[in-house]
Amino acid sequence: MKCIAIDDEPMALEILSSFCQRYGNIELTTFNNPISGMDRVRKMKPDLLFLDIEMGDVNGVELARDLPQGTLLIFTTAYAEYALDGFDLNAVDFLHKPFSYGRFEKAVQKAFELHALQQLSASPVFTEESITLKVGYKSTNVKLKDILYIESMDNYVRIYLPERQCIMSQTSMKNIQELLPEGKFTRVHKSFLVPVHRIASHTSKEITLYGGIRLPVGRSYSKELKLILPEV
């Protein structure tokens, strides 16, 4: 996720940089000059902006009224009385200084989830595409839009569907991957294959699907996952 932080206190920017590095998957650019910082925001159109409110004669709330469409906002300030103004501007969160890493993590996680929703709404999702699998003695059509994730189980695969339904087919994960459209599904573990559009967030060790399902990320798949989903 591409982020910009604007704060006239160098120490505050150092703390944000440290927290972002610790969280991972955040490309942060910092500015202690609000005017030049906002100029960069308009040109770069970052995914997320960390913005202080009281910066000398400059008020961050006023600056936030001119954000590019799609840029998410987290206010960072020592002045709690501005919180209501922040939420009136649809800010993702309001971090009251001094804030802990745990509080920062919760705010950023919300931003990641909202960003993933933005990406999902901007990308076409399956309509009536389907694959045909042998289930028992019958051929069954499975709509791609219904697949939550796929699990490999020795010589079988288990396909998880909405409302806790699942089907089992005697085939390999490799064969399943060959049936699926390229770029729409990704292997995250030797045992798990997931639709890209269902991934709400991810770390190097785990993905979270919309709905709260969590699946492990295999070490050998982590790098590829970051390439496919650099901003989730």
Q: DSSP letters of 52-118?
A: -SEETTEEHHHHHTTPPTT-EEEEEES-GGGHHHHHHTT-SEEEESS--HHHHHHHHHHHHHHHHHH
- What is the share, in percent, of the chain residues with pLDDT greater than 70? 90
| Mean of the per-residue pLDDT values of the chain | 88
Per-residue model confidence as pLDDT tens digits over 162-190: 877 899 999 999 999 999 988 889 999 99
Q: Does domain 2-122 have CATH number 1.10.150.80?
A: no
pLDDT at 202: 84
> Rounded to the nearest 5 degrees, what angle is found at the Cα of 34, between the Cα atoms of 32 and 35?
125
Q: What is the pTM of this model?
A: 0.57
Per-residue model confidence as pLDDT tens digits over 197-226: 888 888 889 999 887 889 999 998 888 887
> Rounded to the nearest 5 degrees, what angle is found at the Cα of 123, between the Cα atoms of 118 and 129?
135
Domain with CATH 2.40.50.1020 in the chain: 130-228
Per-residue model confidence as pLDDT tens digits over 45-91: 999 999 999 898 998 889 998 899 889 999 998 876 665 555 567 78
Q: What is the CA radius of gyration of the chain?
A: 21
**Number of H-type helices and E-type strands within the chain:** 7, 17
Give the CA count within 13 Å in the CB-facing half-sphere of 103.
Answer: 13
Looking at residue 220, what DSSP letter applies? Answer: H
Residue of 161, 148, 165 whose CA lies nearest to 200: 148
Measure the CA–CA gap between 75 and 73, rounded to whole angstroms.
Answer: 6
- The burial of 8, by beta-carbon neighbours within 10 Å (0-12 exposed, 13-18 middle, 19 or more buried), is given as middle
Domain with CATH 3.40.50.2300 in the chain: 2-122
Per-residue model confidence as pLDDT tens digits over 39-53: 999 999 999 999 999
- Beta strands 2-6 and 48-51 are parallel
86-101 average pLDDT score = 83
The Cβ of residue 44 has, within 10 Å, a number of other Cβ atoms equal to 15
Look at residue 232 and tell me whether its pLDDT is greater than 50. Answer: no
Given the candidates 3.20.20.80, 3.50.50.60, 2.40.50.1020, 3.30.420.40, the CATH classification of the domain at 130-228 is 2.40.50.1020
